[in-house]
Structure 1
Amino acid sequence: MGVHGTVAAGFEGVREEFSAFLTDEEHAPGAQLVVHQGGERVVDLWSEGVGGESLLGVFSSTKGAAYLVTALLVQDGFLDLDRTVASYWPDFAAEGKGGVTLRELLAHRAGVIGLDAGFTAEELADDRAIAARLAGQRPFWQPGRFFGYHAFVIGALVGEVVFRATGRTLQECYEERIRAPYGLDLWLGLPQSQEPRFLSTLPMLPTPEQAAEIEAAAASPYSLGGIAFNEHAPGNGELYDFPNSRAVRAGGQASAGGLGSARGLAGMYAAAAFGLNGRAPLLKPDTAAEFARIHSEGTDLVGGMPKAFGLGFQSYGAHFPVLGAGAFGHSGASGSLALADPRQGFAYAYTRRRYAFPGGAAPENTRLLGAVVRALT
């Protein structure tokens, strides 16, 4: 399969690693890979089935944009991590949630992972509607005591705090403060004019072994995981199809509704940690370190798997040994992964069109990150 794009001198091994796994049907629909060394783009690759400028559903990699907005507002003094969510949003205090702080919410410790009855498709595409429904929801565990991935709703919950504090939606803040000034191809609310660049997400094609594993691991739709992914709601669609809805793309749902390219994702993390296009870094070192610092670690109650979260961001220094301590970013269900590693001086983004198994950062990211670090050192 053909690989297109460019790499800087010394990064030829990254191209070789990228091309090595693009021979099976799972990867045939295409993938993108971009790396910045500091503010300079040193890897810009894509395979057959996509273009370098194609826009893909990035699922939960969207959350990185939501957390970056939040970090900037904390840095600027508009938000205080240790104030209660209810001090910004009084309705949130219902059902024993009055003591939940913004810090606990960002660390996935609030316990408000979904609704008892589930969301309609229309509600799930609209962050303000999600927040309005969740304000009165009883937590699924004692807030602050445990943690679990607020998969479909964390962007709406944090976004409501942003709205109450600033009078602007999280999507508006992102557009005005981050996307437009840097010309980033990562959209929280895709304009109609950009629709021709969008490539729909395709379902995974599990091998027989993977299909058996999926069946064996299937949880009840009424489990914590089922509720967090809205599987118990009548008529709930397939997760891979979420960004294929124009309503989701237009609304820019901040948990999983972002559309972008690897260029857009890597550019965002480069802008955050190192600066881009002659601009200073968006985040001061202390802010980046605080949001990357592990706040929740252990077994995630929702996924039942080991996880490490900072403030919103996944703490990848604890997951990928090749990364430096304090690396922060987020993965998406399609297999995408985007992050910054401040200690080693690079930003990374990988996207793919075929939905990944088992979801989250696709396995090839381990090999690709290894190749990047070898090239840097």
Structure 2
Amino acid sequence: MTSHEIVHGTVAAGFEDVRRAFADIAAGEPGLGAQLAVRHHGRPVVDLWTGPEVTGDSLLALYSSGKGAAHLVVALLVQDGTLELDRRVAHYWPEFAAAGKGEITLRDLLAHRAGLIGVPGGFSTAELADDRLLARRLAGQAPYWRPGSGYGYHAFVIGALTGEVVRRATGRSLQEVYDERVRVPYRLDFFLGLPEDEEPRYLPVQPLAPEQRGAAGPPAPDSLLGIAFNLNAARPTDLVEFANDRHVRALGPASSGSVGNARGLAKLYAAAIGPVDGRPALLEPATLTAFTRPHTPGVDLVTGERDHFLLGFEALGARYPGLGADAFGHSGAVGAQSFADPGSGIAYSYTRRRFTAGGGGAPENRLLIDAVMRAAAASDGRP
């Protein structure tokens, strides 16, 4: 069987090199289950998948990809005037002011500057699955660094923190607002809380292949990275076990429990920046500007990544040089990567069923994104 025969789906004229790149990746990792979907100015141009059991409709565990949907909800509420970026969090959520957190603003939360990455002794799985339980634990917690003095990835908790602000301001959970304003109107296959009747489409996540495991081992449980990823708990979180827990999928914690496919995420980001299905862009130009300019330069105190974030969203232009500085989106622990690049009109999503070494956006995204951006430039008549 050739590499092209193990890839299914379609590409638009001019995007054939994207299919070839995807096929080469599939050939190089036997048994890889993956999906790739791309929209260009709102129009689907790539819809590919590969691997045992995987189809374009399959639903996969996409972990932190849900942060992109969560930040989109916050952006919409800021756009509406329901939330204000420079309001103190305690204005919406009075209990949050405890333990020296009274001056932290919503902007600080979104920029990962609050220092509220976890709690001593970590969280139980029941807490990690439930954003309201997480928020209750975090309300009384002191920050791990002086708020505003630096930033660090709030890996398991950012969606619960901003989600509690959403709940206090609107009376509805972030997940409910997402369903009402984004998922249902656009018929997206991307869920923060997977309904029972969608379970047959879910394919359990697979662990990292033995040959891909490095010798470095996990970070120290009491390091900032260990705390942020709940390795300081009595029972450190196993991400494979976590995502394959039906209770987690049902509740859909916004930081870590998203389920969906590449089609759903590509359409979400396309709708954020431009017309889709006859609807105008979700985000107005001023909102896009506010949320997509580089926000806090320097090194992430948790991950060590430089210039990691815009406002809430990850700064994808810093990670993938072919993208604009305002490209925004979020990766997911299995190696998933999804984003919108406003300048080119590209909305991109790559998903995996099996973990890859290093977490975050898998290395093959560089090859795929280069192919996508070359095709988009040629389609638009750009050199």
Q: TM-score, normalised by structure 2?
A: 0.95
Counterpart for residue 263 of structure 1: 263
Deviation at 1:206, TM superposition (A): 4.4
Q: What root-mean-square deviation, in Å, do the aligned CA atoms of Structure 1 and Structure 2 show? A: 1.1
The question of 1:58 aligning with 2:65 is answered: no
Partners in 1 of 2:376 and 2:17 — Cα distance?
A: 11
Q: Aligned partners of 1:134, 1:94: CA distance in 2, in Å?
A: 10
1:36 counterpart residue number: 39
Deviations 1:14-58 (A, max 9, x none): 000000011244x52410000000110000000022110000011
What's 2:316 paired with?
Answer: 316
Q: Which shifted more, 272-281 or 298-307?
A: 298-307
Give the residue type in structure 1 aligned to 2:220. Answer: S
Q: Tell me the equivalent position of 1:364.
A: 364
Q: Is the 8 A contact 2:60 2:202 kept in 1?
A: yes
The one of 17, 33, 37 aligned to 1:13: 17
Residues 236-255 of structure 1: CA deviation (Å, up to 9, x unaligned): 23123321111110001000
Q: Distance in 1 between matches of 2:261 and 2:67?
A: 15
| Aligned residue number for residue 188 of structure 2 | 184
CA contact (8 A) 2:315 2:327 kept: yes
The residue type equivalent to 2:224 in the other structure is L
**Partner letter of residue 203 of structure 1?**
P
Q: Pairwise mapping of residues 143-222 of structure 1 onto structure 2 (< 5 A)?
A: 143-207=147-211, 210-212=213-215, 214-215=216-217, 218-222=218-222
Cross-structure match for 1:103: 107
How do 1:246-285 and structure 2 match up within 5 A?
246-285=246-285
Residues paired across the two proteins, number: 372
Distance 1:275 1:206, change over 3 A: farther
The within-5 A match list for 1:236-247 is: 236-247=236-247
1:22 aligns to what SS in structure 2? helix
Counterpart residue type for residue 242 of structure 1: F
Q: Secondary structure at the match of 2:9?
A: strand
Say which SS state the counterpart of residue 21 (structure 1) adopts.
helix
Matched, 1:127 2:127: no
Aligned partners of 1:273 and 1:342 also within 8 Å: yes
User: Is the 2:206–2:355 contact (alpha carbons within 8 Å) kept by the matching residues of 1?
Assistant: yes
Deviations 1:305-364 (A, max 9, x none): 324211110011122111012000000110000000000111000000011111000000
Where 2:27 maps in the other structure, the secondary structure is: coil
> What amino acid is aligned across from residue 167 of structure 2 in structure 1?
F
Give the Cα separation in 2 of the matches to 1:313 and 1:237: 24
* CA positional deviation for 1:256: 1.1
Deviation of the 1:100 alpha carbon: 0.3
Which of 74, 80, 103 in structure 1 is aligned with 2:78? Answer: 74
CA distance in 2, matches of 1:121, 1:90: 26
CA distance in 2, matches of 1:82, 1:372: 37
Paired with 2:59 and 2:70, the residues of 1 have a C-alpha distance of 18
Q: Tell me, what secondary structure is at the counterpart of 1:351?
A: strand
C-alpha contact 1:206 1:357 (8 A) present in aligned 2:
no
The 3-state SS of whatever aligns with 2:205 is: coil
- The question of whether the paired residues in 1 share the 8 Å contact of 2:291 and 2:310 is answered with yes
Aligned partner of 1:141 in structure 2 is: 145
Q: Are 1:354 and 2:354 counterparts?
A: yes
State the AA in 1 paired with 2:114. Answer: A
Distance apart, 1:298 and its partner CA = 2.0
Is contact 1:295-1:310 (8 Å) kept? Answer: yes
Could you report, residue by residue, the CA deviation over 1:105-160 in whole angstroms, capped at 9, with x for unpaired residues? 10000000001121111111000000000000010000011000000000000000
What percent identity do the matched residue pairs reach?
A: 58
| Further displaced range: 219-228 or 150-159 | 219-228
TM-aligned CA deviation for residue 294 of structure 1: 1.2
Amino acid in the other structure paired with 1:32: Q
Residue 26 of structure 2 aligns with an amino acid whose one-letter code is: L
Partner deviation per Cα, 1:42-85 (whole Å, 9 max, x = no partner)? 00000022110000011111100000000000000000000000
Structure 1 stretches of 5 or more lacking a match?
none
